Amino acid sequence: MKQKKSHKLLIGNILFVIVCAGILVFLLNAPEETTSPLPHDDIHSSLHNIEGKKEAEKYCLNCHDADKKAPLPDGHPPKYRCLFCHKRL
């Protein structure tokens, strides 16, 4: 009786490891992130130093709004929270 129980436990542990390995493989196969990060150039360098994404994002639309000098491309995804997608790397 006691032996049967530990046998079940062993199978349970093996299944657990297999499931974990499966999830790991799945995550490692996720496509690479392709969205361009916040550029490292003279225009954007000061924005890398602002603490807090929300603070830094206040400035983006000064240049990237529709009527400004670097408007977002057509079909740009919803533009809230720029730095969630365009990461500061």
Write the interaction track for ligand HEC spanning residues 40-69; mark x where CB under 6 A is met and - where it is not: -x-xx--x--------xx-xxxxxx----x
Cβ contacts of residue 63 below 8 Å, gap of 6+? 43, 69, 70
**Count of residues that bind ligand HEC according to CB under 6 A:** 32
Q: Quick one: 4 or 75, whose CB is closer to ligand HEC? A: 75
- DSSP for 18-80, written as a single string: HHHHHHHHHHHTSPPP-SPPPP-STTTHHHHHSSSHHHHHTTTHHHHSTTSSSPPPTTPPP-S
Which segment (3-11, 17-25, 71-79) binds ligand HEC by CB under 6 A? Answer: 71-79
Nearer to ligand HEC (CB atom), residue 35 or residue 49? 35
Query: How remote is the C-alpha of 8 from its chain's centroid?
Result: 39
Summarize as ranges the residues that interact with ligand HEC (CB under 6 A): 34-36, 38-39, 41, 43-44, 47, 56-57, 59-64, 69-70, 72-73, 76-86
